Amino acid sequence: MRWLVVAAALSLAAPAQAADKNAVLKTYSDIALAIYEDSLTTARQMQTSINKFLKQPSAETQEAAKQAWLAARVPYQQSEVYRFGNTIVDDWEGKVNAWPLDEGLIDYVDASYGKDSEENSFYTANVIANPVLLVSGKKTDASVIDAKLIRSLHEIDDVEANVATGYHAVEFLLWGQDLNGTEPGAGARPWTDFARGKDCTGGNCQRRGEYLQAATSLLIADLEEMVANWKAGGAARKALEDGQPTQGLAVMLKGMGSLSYGELAGERMKLGLLLHDPEEEHDCFSDNTHNSHYFNQVGIRNVYLGRYKRISGDVVDGTSLSDLIKAKTPDLDTEMRGKLEAALGTLDVIRQSAENGKMSYDQMIGEGNASGNKMVQNAIDALLDQTKSIEKVIAALDIGSLEFEGSDSLDNPSAVFK
């Protein structure tokens, strides 16, 4: 096809520019490696805290475990911009950060949660309470709660809300359901849910602890896998190195645009605002959504600016998309940077408000809360605005329109018109 020929011709004709593009891609991969390493480091620290909590359950050790979970989310949320476009990340991501979840699959739930769901027959399967699961006439042995069991239950029945593993499963076990509606307050699971003997509340404390441990170690194993993918010779880094440089840039921009628009502005923010429902928030048990959104945007900015500040304070940086655009159309670079900062600003307003205890995210999306709704709407608008500039960057780099890899129509259009 003609456009493929053109692509090849362009890359031959402009070797100097191709070299710049490769440098941009290298920065992108280096940042990915640093982010996943930081995610792994903080997840291991979380595991240490969780082990202490399970060894000596108390309000204090529980709180320490919660704090460690919150810290682990900071680098991870910055990694999400790598999801869309990088096949390896996207195929893996569901195990680690799937959301929202029907938490009744895992543990006991409040009566307000309901008993059944049209979409999900495992809605209240409650693995922790049931050594044998009996769902739609089928028996599942759940006598031993380990990594293998919870892996097999993840997205069981092809239902995405059956989230048995990952950050949000751990979050639910540490915090419990947030039953405050759009009033202040996060989930308030008593530490005694993990106590031994007669102090145990909620039943099956031993199994609950086993679940928490299994989910945590699985999360670490998954993060280890992703770190390896971005090391020298790793599959994700190699996929970018082996492809056309322009294709690699397309992956970067696809990630930025998809997270900004469809995922963050759409699925995670607009939906909650339209439904005014407190459970429509990303970190709903811990009330940490404000940070989760904020660091998503920091991640988008990292990719464009080619700069990531590690948890240690060290900076990983290099040739960036911004450099590439600045050389071509300086005005667009200024515009893009401005939009990135503006969006971050609107998300920071939300973050500050929640962190200072003025108004939490689930309150902001509540019915009749005009000022809260407005804060969320402002962020949505800024994200949409930012996406338009990302589209301009795509156009400026001559990346053109989206296509499916190895499709019949690209390789052989006559096959489509048979």
Partner 1 sequence: MRVAFVSIIFCVAVVATSPVRAQPDYRLLNQSLTDGVVLPAYMGMANAMTDLVKTTQTFCTTPTSATLADAKGAYRTAMAAWQRAQPIAIGPVTLGGRVSRIQFWPDKRGTAARQIRRALKAQDPALVAAGGLRGRSVALQNLTAYERIIFDHGEKIASTSPAARDRYACALALAIARFQATLAAQIRDDWTKPGGFRDKVMTAADGNENFADAKEASTQFLKSLVGGLDAVILVKLSRPLGKSLDGARPKRAESWRSRHSLDNIRANLKTAQALYESPGGFGDLLTANGAGPLDDGLRKSFKEAVALAQTIDRPLYDAVTDPVARKQVETLREQLKDLHLLIAGPVASEVGLVAGFNAMDGD
Does 60 bind partner 1 (CB under 8 A)? Our answer is no
Beta-carbon neighbour count of residue 274 at 10 Å?
A: 10
Comparison of 197 and 406: residue with beta carbon closer to partner 1: 406
Q: Which stretch binds partner 1 (CB under 8 A): 47-55, 94-102, 220-228, 288-296?
A: 94-102
**363-382: contacts with partner 1 (CB under 8 A):** 367-368
Minimum gap (Å) between residue 328 Cβ and partner 1? 12
Among 48, 152, 409, 412, binds partner 1 (CB under 8 A): 409
Does 394 bind partner 1 (CB under 8 A)? Our answer is yes
Q: Is 86 exposed, middle or buried (0-12, 13-18, 19+ CB in 10 A)?
A: buried
**224 Cβ contact partners less than 8 Å away, ≥ 6 residues apart:** 40
Does 147 bind partner 1 (CB under 8 A)? Our answer is no
Minimum gap (Å) between residue 156 Cβ and partner 1? 12
By the 8 A CB rule, do 43 and 72 touch? Answer: yes
Tokens of 167: 């950050």
Among 154, 270, 282, 301, binds partner 1 (CB under 8 A): 270
**331 Cβ contact partners less than 8 Å away, ≥ 6 residues apart:** none
Site string for partner 1, 7-26 (x = CB under 8 A): x--x----------------
Site string for partner 1, 150-189 (x = CB under 8 A): --------x-xx----------------------------
| Cα–Cα distance, 413 to 409 (Å, whole number) | 4
| Cα–Cα distance, 296 to 79 (Å, whole number) | 8
| Cα–Cα distance, 376 to 67 (Å, whole number) | 25
| Cα–Cα distance, 105 to 163 (Å, whole number) | 8
Tokens of 240: 């970018």
Q: Is 244 exposed, middle or buried (0-12, 13-18, 19+ CB in 10 A)?
A: middle
CA atoms within 13 A on the CB side of 240: 29
Beta-carbon neighbour count of residue 107 at 10 Å?
A: 23
Q: Which stretch binds partner 1 (CB under 8 A): 1-9, 135-143, 234-242, 295-303?
A: 1-9
Site string for partner 1, 97-116 (x = CB under 8 A): ---x-x-----------x--
Among 146, 355, 391, 411, binds partner 1 (CB under 8 A): 391
Comparison of 190 and 266: residue with beta carbon closer to partner 1: 266
Q: Which stretch binds partner 1 (CB under 8 A): 59-67, 195-203, 250-258, 310-318?
A: 250-258
Identity of the residue numbered 48: T
CA atoms within 13 A on the CB side of 206: 7
Place of tokens 């990303």: 282
Does 407 bind partner 1 (CB under 8 A)? Our answer is yes
Does 403 bind partner 1 (CB under 8 A)? Our answer is yes
**140 Cβ contact partners less than 8 Å away, ≥ 6 residues apart:** 132, 133, 153
Comparison of 55 and 418: residue with beta carbon closer to partner 1: 418
Site string for partner 1, 271-310 (x = CB under 8 A): x-xxxxx-xx------------------------------
Among 247, 286, 296, 302, binds partner 1 (CB under 8 A): 247
Minimum gap (Å) between residue 352 Cβ and partner 1? 25
Comparison of 65 and 273: residue with beta carbon closer to partner 1: 273
Give the closest residue to 130 by CA, choosing from 154, 149, 112, 157.
Answer: 149
**64-93: contacts with partner 1 (CB under 8 A):** 84-87, 90-91
Does 250 bind partner 1 (CB under 8 A)? Our answer is yes
Does 346 bind partner 1 (CB under 8 A)? Our answer is no
By the 8 A CB rule, do 182 and 362 touch? Answer: yes
Beta-carbon neighbour count of residue 177 at 10 Å?
A: 21
Q: Report the interface residues with partner 1, using CB under 8 A.
A: 1-4, 6-7, 10, 84-87, 90-91, 94, 100, 102, 114, 117-120, 158, 160-161, 243, 246-247, 250, 254, 257-259, 261-263, 266-267, 270-271, 273-277, 279-280, 367-368, 387, 390-391, 394-395, 398-410, 413, 416-417
